[in-house]
Amino acid sequence: MDLNGEQDKRQIEDYRKHPMINLADSINRSMIGDLRALTKGGYLTKVIISIIIAILLIIQYVRN
């Protein structure tokens, strides 16, 4: 049972029924970015992103 596949199929159907939702979603994602794209990678991508976030949090903590 692939929940992501089912969710993607449902989202595609919604986009076909309501094309303006697709436009609004695309505009919003272009303005604020799509963080799901970072997590769709493999294990190595997730580890690297986690390390980068940890480093940024440490830098923020040290500055304050």
Spans of the chain below 50 pLDDT: none
Write down the residue that tokens 């609004």 correspond to: 24
- Token output for 30: 């272009």
Tell me how far apart the alpha carbons of residues 36 and 40 are, in angstroms, rounded to a whole number. Answer: 6
pLDDT of 38 reads 58
Predicted TM-score (pTM) of the model is 0.40
pLDDT of 2 reads 65
pLDDT of 30 reads 66
